[in-house]
């Protein structure tokens, strides 16, 4: 279930392997002096709604735990033969928990690991699985950072049958324009099932109000996103909105994050 975890990720169209945005993009988290908690309220395609809560802490060794859930209610149930009205309605639920850790190992670089478990249920069918992501961040200078990540290493069980998941690899670049306090982000990803995808984003780093914009391009989907963040003292609010080719049918995803620095 490939859904962004936060409004910041959504507003950048999932770009940011080298941007130190979230372990879901790259578990090699950079050092931060202020731990924080964050809560997200999210609305994805087709009225799928969810929430996401996380806690990030640590100094030299960065750590983060997160829990997210998604659900869709009131889905119409139709029979095998055509009918004028549905037979009834049903719901589907999905939940996951993840732990991420990052360290520099006495080098100029950062290395990270993320482990995630998930569980979903539809009628009597249940799916459970576990995945692992590994990543690294490589500073190339005061204003250029490169990064690499391998995601989705793992498997899932359906009715006691084990199935491997499609592995995804990615390379990222973060170029900081220091005079205007803006970052240019670019990612190149390859998924064994979906093929190649390119993502680009722009993110400002001003004092109070910041703007984000992103674009993803692949053979199956082209989409754009916008968003903003507002910082005030120990609080930060992120908002993202996602535009895609089927917005009229599937709706326009919108995510909202509230962060509290401790």
pTM of the prediction?
Answer: 0.89
Residue 128 falls inside a structural domain: yes
The predicted structure's pLDDT at residue 146: 98
The predicted structure's pLDDT at residue 63: 97
Nearest to 225 by CA among 236, 210, 213: 213
The predicted structure's pLDDT at residue 193: 84
Alpha-carbon distance of 114 to 133, in angstroms, equals 5
The predicted structure's pLDDT at residue 80: 60
Alpha-carbon distance of 105 to 137, in angstroms, equals 12
Residue 63 falls inside a structural domain: yes
223 near 213, Cβ under 8 Å?
no
CA distances from 84 to 10, 73, 91 (A): 38, 21, 21
The predicted structure's pLDDT at residue 124: 62
Residue 78 falls inside a structural domain: no
47 near 250, Cβ under 8 Å?
no
Number of C-alpha atoms within 13 angstroms, CB side, residue 81? 0
Q: What is the CATH number of the domain that holds 191?
A: 2.40.160.40
The predicted structure's pLDDT at residue 82: 56
Residue 84 falls inside a structural domain: no
The predicted structure's pLDDT at residue 45: 81
Burial class (CB in 10 A: 0-12, 13-18, 19+), 20: buried
- Our count of domains for the chain comes to 1
Residue 158 falls inside a structural domain: yes
Residue 13 falls inside a structural domain: yes
The predicted structure's pLDDT at residue 235: 96
Residue 2 falls inside a structural domain: no
For the chain of 262 residues, list the mean pLDDT of each consecutive stretch of 10. Answer: 83 95 95 92 85 94 95 64 60 89 95 94 77 96 96 85 85 96 97 91 96 92 93 95 82 94 94
The predicted structure's pLDDT at residue 59: 87
Residue 83 falls inside a structural domain: no
In which domain, by residue range, is 205 found? 7-71+89-261
């Amino acid at each position: 279930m490939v859904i962004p975890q936060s409004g910041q990720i959504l507003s950048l169209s999932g770009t940011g392997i080298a941007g130190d945005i979230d372990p879901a993009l790259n578990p090699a988290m950079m050092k931060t002096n202020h731990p924080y908690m964050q809560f997200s309220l999210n609305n994805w395609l087709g009225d799928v709604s969810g929430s996401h809560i996380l806690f990030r802490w640590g100094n030299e060794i960065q750590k983060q735990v997160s829990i997210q859930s998604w659900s869709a209610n009131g889905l119409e149930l139709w029979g095998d033969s055509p009918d004028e009205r549905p037979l009834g309605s049903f719901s589907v639920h999905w939940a996951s928990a993840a732990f991420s850790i990052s360290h520099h190992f006495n080098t100029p670089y950062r290395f990270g690991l993320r482990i995630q478990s998930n569980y979903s249920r539809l009628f009597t069918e249940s799916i459970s699985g576990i995945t692992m992501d590994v990543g690294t961040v490589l500073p190339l200078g005061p204003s250029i950072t490169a990064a690499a990540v391998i995601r989705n290493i793992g498997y899932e069980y359906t009715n006691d049958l084990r199935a491997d998941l499609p592995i995804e690899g990615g390379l990222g670049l973060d170029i900081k324009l220091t005079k205007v306090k803006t970052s240019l982000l670019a990612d190149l990803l390859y998924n064994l099932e979906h093929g190649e995808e390119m993502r680009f984003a722009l993110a400002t780093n001003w004092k109070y109000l910041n703007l984000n914009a992103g674009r993803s391009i692949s053979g199956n989907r082209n989409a754009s996103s916008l968003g903003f963040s507002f910082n005030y003292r120990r609080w930060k609010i992120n908002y993202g909105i996602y535009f895609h080719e089927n917005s009229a049918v599937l709706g326009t995803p919108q995510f909202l994050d509230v962060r509290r620095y401790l």
